[in-house]
Amino acid sequence: MSGGLEAKDPVLYRMALLLLCTMEAFSSATQTITAALSGSWASTTTAELIVILGWFVVCLSPSAILVFARRSKGVLTFMALPIIPIFFGRLYYGFRFLASGYIEPKGDWPGWLNSLLGLVSIIVVVVWISARPILLLVDLASRWSGGNLKGDQI
């Protein structure tokens, strides 16, 4: 990328990537663990546990976007804007749960925001993964036709 959007200091951006991925993993894990400790999973079946595991993967999908776009400081910054408040919100509600055992009956805002971010991110990841083979085929077709997709000789 050009125009100042590419990371200039790779060590700094690798550390930011690692930190943001760790924050997202912590937020997703504590959201899942808090729900498990609240007793709401006491009578779940195996199929329901598979759905819960799938939802956990959806909540981790922002980390996939961070890894895919690890060289773009614009994407890292854009993804950091929701991840950092979610992380601190999960810390607050996690400590509150550990101190009192109280869980919000309708969920807490970091959980809702993390789920929304995960849903939007999984859509971006699916589009990204679907577009890569198409771009590869277009590139191969361009090379096969000598750089001219119409096949005309110049």
Phi/psi at 105 (nearest 5 deg)?
A: -60, -35
pLDDT of residue 148 exceeding 70, the answer is no
pLDDT of residue 9 exceeding 60, the answer is yes
pLDDT higher for 32 or 115?
115
Q: What percent of the chain has pLDDT over 70?
A: 84
- Please state the rounded mean pLDDT for residues 137-154: 70
DSSP codes joined into one string, 16-67? HHHHHHHHHHHHHHHHHHHHHHTTTTTT--HHHHHHHHHHHHHHTHHHHHHH
Question: What's the pLDDT at 141?
Answer: 83
Question: What's the pLDDT at 7?
Answer: 54
Give the pLDDT confidence of 54-109 residue by residue, as tens digits: 888 888 899 999 988 888 888 889 999 999 999 999 999 888 888 887 777 777 89
Residue type, 89: G
Phi/psi at 46 (nearest 5 deg)?
A: -65, -40
